[in-house]
Structures are given as structure tokens and as C-alpha cells.
Amino acid sequence: MMDEQQRRYYLNAMGIENWLPRDMSVSDEVIAPAEVVPPEEETEVVVSAPAMNLNSSHSPGSTGEQHSEVSSAMTGDADIPPWLNEAPPPLDEYSPTIDYADYAEEASAKTDERSLIAGLDWRGLEVKVAECQSCELSGTRSNTVFGVGDREADLMIIGEAPGAEEDRRGEPFVGRAGQLLNTMLQAIGLGRERVFIANILKCRPPDNRDPRAEEALKCEPFLMRQVALVKPKVILAVGRVAAQNLLKSSEAVGRMRGRDYNYNGTPVVVSYHPAYLLRSPEQKAKSWQDLQRAVTLLKG
Ligand code: URA
């Protein structure tokens, strides 16, 4: 056990000047720091802020095992955990390396950009799309593909992304899939010029790969604004990419077909992509059903 003189010495070294055991009243004892003297043969105990360098290796009379690591370190026990002796790293090592101000700035820039696009007229939107450099597709495109057709159409067709031919000509659905789409539209009495046709992406993904989520997200304000400007009565989403991105779903087109959806309040009919129908013509009957559903909604 520590004798009283040692105890006072350590308390004093820790900066505790008036410590009383629970059963001792103030009148019984008041520790006066000036009277404290180091115990004989004691290794020096240094308590230095902020490094908390507790360099004592041995404390005569200490019992060891009934102390916690910290208290044994403070009383100078032999098995001081090494980290207690280590000086803390300089303050700037604690400071976050992430600049949260940068994040906030980027987030508010995105919000600003979205609200700017949401306020554009047709001309402004066309220019904004043509100048867009928001993702890497801007580096590989030949042309942006804005969308085409009647800007006051009742029916809006939304596809996936431009392919090679669309990228070359700057117009959506002008390849083989586009020809089939034209035929389908004629079958319901609507020429291509009477609907508005757009895509989830305005730029072609290289090698016709699937659009990436971040690309679709960056392009979304353009399509959103186009829908808001056209104000169609019905949207026909053709293919998985269009349906999933528009409706924030991960379901297969086969499961989404025939269900009621809406995009910001506009009814959406989900159907197969014409390119898929070219590969799987046996699905054309289902596609025809979907077109009939769209016509019913248009009439309603
Ligand atoms: N496929 C689409 O989804 N969009 C086009 O513009 C062309 C092919």
C-alpha cells in the first residue's frame, strides 16, 4: 500500500490539491501542496500536459492488479500501456482531411444547376444540352441528341440513349429500331411528327453500352424539363433503361407492363423496346396491347 506521504505527492503531481477520503471531514485534513515532499527512492513521475508523459516505471508499495491501466499508470506501475507514454500527434493530424465545405459547395452547385434547367425555355434547354459536359460521354459523342417532334404532343415516347446512327444525325430513333417505332405509331394513327420522342441520355454511350446510373442522373433534369414543357397526356417508356430510370424501379419490363405508373403526375405506359421486338418479334402482340393501353389513356 502507498503511505500517506506518497499518496499526497501523487495527487499533488496530478494537480489534485484538496482530496479527502469519503469518511474524512474538511476539518480532519486539508492537504497543503506546499507541505508535500517526494517519497524517498521514488522514480520521477512527470505529468505534463498535453503529452501526458507518465514516465514512471516502478512504484514502491503499489499492489498492481487492483488498479485499472490508467490508474496504475498514474501511480507509476510497471505495466504501463505503451500508448499512455506516447505523445499525441500534432494537432493538425487530428483535423479532418476531407474538406466538407467543398462537398457543400458541390451539392449546392448541383441544386443550382437543376433549378436553372427547370426554368429554361425550349431554346435555352437546347443550348444547355448542346453545351453539356457533365459526364464523360461528352468526350465521345459526335452530336447531342436533344429530341424531336411535336412540342405540344399528347404522347411522348421515351427511349434509352442514342445509338450510332442517332449520334451521327443528332436525332433519336432513326436507325432500324426507329423505323419499327414509326410503323407502330402509324398503327395507332399517329405519325412520328405528332409525338415527341426523347431519350434518357442525350449522348451516345460508347459501343452502345448501358447508360450508367450517374450518367442518367446527370441527364435527368433535361428530360424532366422536356416533359414539363411538352405536358403530354401520356408517356410511353420503351425498354428497361427508360422504364427503370424514369420510374426509379429495378423491375423487369415484363413485370412493369400493364401497371399504372406516373411520372410527376403524367401517366406512364411501359412497353418493350423496338430493338428488342426486332430480335423477339413474337413479343409484338404484347407491345400492341401496350399501345392500345396508351390510346385508351390518351382518349380518357
Ligand atoms: N434506341 C433508343 O433507345 N433511342 C434511340 O434514340 C435509338 C435507339
Question: What would the pLDDT profile of 76-87 be if each residue is shown by its tens digit?
Answer: 455 666 666 677
Cβ-based neighbour number of residue 24 at 10 Å: 11
The one-character DSSP state at 98 is S
Helix/strand/coil percentages in the chain, nearest 5 = 45, 10, 45
Grid cell digits, residue 74:
498514474
How many helices and strands, by DSSP H and E, does the chain display?
Answer: 12, 6
DSSP-derived letter for residue 289 is H
Q: For the whole prediction, is pTM greater than 0.75?
A: no
Where do we find the cell 500501456? 81
CA–CA distances in Å: residue 64 to residues 2, 70, 78, 257 = 11, 11, 8, 75
What Cα–Cα distance (Å) separates residue 292 from each residue in 151, 168, 288? 23, 33, 6
> CA–CA separation, 235 vs 151, rounded Å?
13
How many CB atoms lie under 10 A from the CB of residue 88?
A: 11
pLDDT tens digits along 146-189:
999 999 999 999 999 999 999 999 999 999 999 999 999 999 99
Q: Counting atoms of ligand 1 from 1, which one is nearest the CA of 274?
A: 1
- In terms of Cα–Cα distance, which of 233, 250, 230 is closest to 241? 250
Say if residue 50 is preceded by a cis peptide, omega within 30 of 0: yes
Distance 200 CA to ligand 1 centre (A): 9
**pLDDT value for 105:** 81
Q: Which atom of ligand 1 is nearest to the CA of 160?
A: 3
Cα of 198 vs centre of ligand 1, distance in Å, is: 8
CA 219 to chain centre: 16
Which residues contact ligand 1 via a Cβ below 6 A? Answer: 159-163, 166, 172-173, 175, 177, 199, 275
Return the number of other C-beta atoms located less than 10 Å from residue 220's C-beta: 16
**Spatial distance between the Cα atoms of 43 and 80, rounded to a whole number of angstroms:** 14
pLDDT tens column, 19-43: 555 544 444 334 444 444 444 433 3
